[in-house]
Structure formats: structure tokens, C-alpha cells
Chains A and B, each alone.
Chain A
Amino acid sequence: MNGLKLLINQNISFLIIFLLFGIVFLVIGNILYETISQLTIKSFSNDLMNFLPSISVTFFNNILSTICAIFIAFFITEYLYKKSYFSSSFLIVLISFPHISYCIGITYLFATSGLFARLFSIFYGNEVPFISYRGDGLANLIYIFSLALREVPFLVLIGLSTWKKINPNQIQQQVSVLGHSDLSTLMNCIFPLWIKSMGLPVLIIIAFSFSNFEFSSILGPQFPNMINVKIIESWYSTNTELMQHLNSLIIITILGAGVAILLLFFLRNAIVSYFTNTRLFIPINYNTLLIGKFFFLIVVLLFTAIISITFFLSISKSWFFPSILPTTFTLKGWSYMIENYYVLFFHSIFISSTISIFSLIIMTYMIEISQNIKNIFKMLFLLSLMILVIPQNIMLMGINNLMSSSPFFSIKAWFYFSLFIYILPYTYFMTKQSYDDFNPQYIENADVLGIKRLKSFFSIKLPIMTNDFLIIFGVSFSVCFYQFLQGIIVTKGEELLFNNEVLILFSGESISTASSGSLLNFFPAGLLLTIIYIRYRYARM
């Protein structure tokens, strides 16, 4: 009877995986077939030449921002691990900061009457040179650093668990008795080990940079437009020529992301090989922690500045240049947002919570019953990797194509599915990690006491792993709440999340309304993760 139960459970796992694999293959196959069948070599090579400036800017910016993010995250990880481990849990709140609100905040900081212009006007007067006369070069620089710093909290959080596994304190002791400096230990021994284990998060970041629309449209240089913006323009266009470009842009995006991933992995191997074979016998013990502390402060200050200026803009009635603070205040923006958008706001919270809980239950169920079947984990890993590596805009176009040719499900169902499929990899990786960290002897202990599996799950595993499950739910919720392209690509605006509305507000409404929307967007995930952070801090198991 037990064998039968086990067989049924395992078969359900396989069924779910095959179903998801089937849909993902269908989606990818569909978009590739549609694209390749309509594309000629001549039109592709013409488009390639025409879009060369856009391709170069996109490629250069994305690669450089990822490399910057990796190095900054490495030094911050070292600092937090050694000096302020609990501050690292605070980073989870920063992860929950929406990309759109972040990009809007950056424009507020660097605008001609933004916070930096106001601060520097003390020295330069009304015309701050590097803000007033900035060209595309500076726009590129702002894009690279903004994207890099936005990804740092995510990299640091994953990097910290990798760091713990490396056991750097022991390495440091062993290397220092051989006469190496701290910097040498860090770069010759710890960095190569750390970066080798960071393959997956780097992959996620680079794939995201090739598909995101928020950064490219708000912060990206306007001339030439980045590929990510062009692809959405062509997607919405009714102009035949632009629609033709779409096929080339899809192939260019896939190839671009693929080449960037290969290049980064080649670079990683080259850097690891360089540091492993080069001895940095630096006689002075540079305090490497200072570098980490500096970058950590930059990240915290940047996020604080963004939140502050957005908040002040949301309540300011008049805020004339070069005054540092607003002179008169109003709550019109907030009341407008609450009156007009509360339904969409709560609807988005409801959808995100439901999908996150559903995803968490499915993953927990599958991992729980498949603990001895390695194949299920391999397949789940492969599925998650496929979803994360294929640029999201392309995948969602495939879902839209499939939706148009399939009469079975409504737009709503496809919209929820397209949200679910992007939560799944995060839920899988985090749940699997939590299960790997869980000491199996607790369950063995319960087993030898004759406790049934269901009871031991609810009485032992669930209470011990509550913090983990809450964090998984919080992160999944924020990932879902901040999905953006589903509303634009899959439903073409018929179904939207609150996140989509914030960008629309930014381009159409008053600045106080747009800023209120931007902050309101941060509120649910920020509040949820702050509560989880406090619980984690004070109610640790």
C-alpha cells in the first residue's frame, strides 16, 4: 500500500514536470518557428547592420554592469560576512525594491533639478556641468552603475551562502601562515572559489539585463535606443516594416544573451586562472574590508536617497530649484492614487500572494515526495534554467503566440500562467536550498519514534523551517508583484499589475502622483519583507 502511495505521488511529480516542460518547449518552439519561418538571411543581415549601434550599446552596457555588480557584490559579501552579518538580512528588503520605482528614483536623482543638482548647486550655482550638459556617454555610465547596484543586493545574498560554504576564515588562517597578505588571500584563494559557485545568479542577471524593459526605457540612452526598447516598439507596432524588424530583433536578443553568457563564462575562467596562478605578494596589509564597507554604504545611501527623494516629491506642492527640501506640502498625489488605483493595488497583492503560495505548495510537495529521486531534481533544475536563461520578452512573446492560436484558455489564465512560470524557478531554488540545509536527522528521529510522515512534516519540519518558508514566500511575492512584461506582452494591456500602472503614471500624470504610485508600489513587498526580516532577526530557530 505504501509502495502504491509512493508510486502515485512520484508519478504526480513527473506529470507536473512533463506538463511544464511540454508547455515551455511549445512556447519556445512556437516563437522560434514563427520567427525563423518569416525571416530571410538578407533581411536579417540588413537589420543586423542597421541595428549595430543599438546592439553594441546593449551588449556593452549589460556585460559591463554585470561585471561591476559581481566585483562590488564580492567586496560587500566579505565585509558583511566578517563584520556585520545581520545587516545582510536587511538586503532582502532592498531586493524587494521595484525596478520601476528604482529607475524613476534614479532619474529624480540625476535630473537637471534632481537631488544631486540641488546638492551641487551649492558649489556650481544653477548650472551643474555634469548634470546639465550630459550626453549619451554619461547616460551609459548612469545606466551601467544603476543596473549594477540594483543587482548587488541579490548577488550579495546568494554570495553570502556561497561564502559560508567556502569557510574563508580557515583559508585565511592557512594562507596567512604562508606569508600572504589579506588582499592576496582574498584574490588568489577566496575569489576564484566564490566566483566558480556563482554561475547561476550571474546567469540570471545577464539574462534579465537582455530582457528588461524598465531600465532600458527609463535609464537607457535614447540614441541609439537599446534593443530591449526596440523589441517592445516593434511588438506594439502595426507598421509592416517595424513588424518585420521584430523577427530579426528576437534572434539578435537570443544570440546576444547567448554570446554574453559565453563571454562572461570565458572571462570568469580567465580571471580565475589569472588569480590562481598569479601571486599578489603585497607587503602591506590593505584593509580589504574598507572596500566592502564603502560599496555597502554606497548601496544603502543610493537606496535611501531614492526612497527619500521619491517620498518628498510625492508630498511636495512646490519645490523650486535649488531648495534641498520642498517648501509647501500636499497629499493630493497619495489621495489620487488611493481613490483611483486601490482596486488594482489590492488585486495585484491578491494575485501575487495566491501565485506565490501556490508555487510554494507545489514545490514543497514535489521536493517532499521526491527526496530520493535525483531525476526529478535534475529536471526541475533544467526547467528553471530554461525559464531564466531565455530572455523573458522572447518567452512571453511565445506565450502570446500560443495564446492566440489556442482557444482553450482565457487571457486571464495565460496571464496567471505567465506570472507563475517566472515565480517557479525562484521558489524551486530557494525551497531546494532550504531542504538541503535542513538536518534530516530531525525527521529520522521522528520516524524512529513512530511518527507518521504527515505529522512529522507539520510538527517538525514546518515549525523549524518557518523562517525559510516565509522568506521564500516574501521573495516570490515580490518577484510576482514586480513582474512587468506579462501585462505588456502577453495580454497587450488587457490584464495589468499595479507595477505596469506606475510606469504609465510616470509618463502621463503629475510628478507627485507618479511618485506616490512609485512608493506605493514598494509598500507591500517592502512591508512584508521587513516583517519577515524582523522575525528572522529576533525569532531565529
Chain B
Amino acid sequence: MLECKNINIQNEKKIFLVKNFNFIIEQSQIFTLTGPSGVGKSTLLKYICGIKQNSFTYSGDILVNKSLVNHLPTNQREVRMIFQNDLLFPHMNVMENLLFAVPITKKKNKDEALSLLDKLNLSHLSYKNTNTLSGGEYSRICLARIIINKPSILLVDEPFSNLDIKTKNMTRKFFFKNISEMKCTTLIVSHDLDDIYNHDKVIKL
């Protein structure tokens, strides 16, 4: 469960990007966050994760499974995130990138990574260097990396915006199937009506 109470975010000019914002997402619910560009959707997602911009002012409580996590660093919050322009680590190949997301590298994890790549039609890229990937391949591997991590709470910032229509449909299906199977609590930022369709609730910022 993810709960945000009285969230306020001000930019360096002291203008409120987010003011008194509240919501609760129950276990395995999928919420969509929409709103015009520049309104602070990505900033809010990053704040929930614990990534702050130095010049911004933040206040409000974030509760994960009813525990306050404001004081915890990002890596201890159990909240995972897919950025709008996610990055793969350039010194690792595709497989190493996927396995970097799991705490211990085991044969089981490797098989799972291969199966994920196979489902995304990317198994031929398993040991390729990340700088040889196309934009679409790159985005899909970023998604696979977070799925193999099996997050309990996931924040997603416009995940399919870099994909062509055919790949977008295939990847969307794959992504939502996996997060449903994992019973993952998800908050997704999107402008795309197809992403919003069938979600539990839409929040407007």
C-alpha cells in the first residue's frame, strides 16, 4: 500500500508545483496520474522515491505499507521507479544490467532474465553492449530490468512514450500482465488513454 499525505512541493521561485496532495493506493491497485506538462508529475514521483532536487522545498508524509519512509534513502524504501528516460549502465551488457537489479545472481535469475527477454523478442540481445541497442530495444530492457526486480510498489513515468505503435502495444500487454501477476501496487504517469483504460483510478494533478 502506498499513501501520500499533505504533499507540498515548491520550486526555487517558491511556486507550488504540488499543494496539499493526498492519495492512497491499496495493494495491487494501479493508479494513473495525469495532468498538463510541467505541472510536477515527475517531480512528485521522484519525491515518493526519495530523489529530491536541491533547490526545491518538499513537505508531507509518504507511507509504504503504513510505515513512514520520509527519512529513508531511496534504496531502502521498497519503492521502485521507471524513469521517463531510463538509463542502462553503459559498462554492462544487457544480461548484466538485468541481473544487477536482483540482490543475488543465481542460475534461476538468469533463466528468468532470458525468459523475460524472450517474451519481449529481445533474447538475441542478451549479451550485446547497451550502446548497440535501438531506442525501442533500450526502453524495453529498462522495463524488463525493473520487472525482474519484482517490486511491491512501482512508480512509472511515461514508460511507452519512446516506442512505435506496434511495439508499444506488445510491450504494454507484457508490462501490465507482469505487474498484475506480481500484485504490484503501481502509480503510472501517462497521457495515453490506452494506458489509463482499465486502471483502478485516475488522479489529476
Interface residues, chain A, with chain B CB atoms under 8 Å away: 2-3, 372, 439, 441-442, 444-453, 456, 459-460, 463-464, 541
Contact = CB atoms under 8 A, between A and B. Distances in A.
Contacts of A463: 91
Nearest to A463: B91
Interface string B61-93: 000000000011111101111010111011100
Given A441-B83, A445-B83, A452 B90 contact: no
Given A444-B83, A445-B83, A459 B100 contact: yes
A450 B75 CA distance: 4
A452 B75 contact: yes
8 contacts: A444-B74, A445-B89, A446-B100, A449-B101, A449-B146, A449-B149, A453-B75, A463-B91
Interface centre among A372, A449, A460 (most CB of B within 10 A): A449
Given A372-B54, A449-B145, A464 B79 contact: no
Contacts of A3: 71
Given A447-B51, A451-B100, A459-B100, A442 B89 contact: yes
B159 interface: no
A442 B130 CA distance: 14
Interface of B: 46, 49-51, 54, 71-76, 78-81, 83, 85-87, 89-91, 100-101, 103, 145-146, 149
B86 A447 contact: no
Contact of B72 (A2, A441, A444, A449): A2
Nearest to B102: A449
A540 to B, nearest CB: 10
A451 B77 CA distance: 11
A446 to B, nearest CB: 8
Given A445-B89, A450-B103, 16 more contacts: A2-B76, A441-B83, A442-B87, A442-B89, A444-B46, A444-B51, A446-B89, A448-B49, A448-B79, A448-B83, A449-B100, A449-B101, A451-B75, A456-B75, A464-B90, A541-B91
Contact of B50 (A439, A441, A445, A447): A447
B83 A449 contact: no
Given A441-B83, A449-B145, A460 B74 contact: no
Contacts of B149: 449-450
Given A444-B51, A459-B100, A463-B91, A450 B78 contact: yes
A442 B97 CA distance: 12
Contacts of B100: 446, 449, 451, 459
B199 to A, nearest CB: 21
Given A2-B72, A2-B73, A444-B74, A450 B87 contact: no
A460 B89 contact: yes
Contacts of A450: 75-76, 78, 80, 103, 149
A451 B76 CA distance: 8
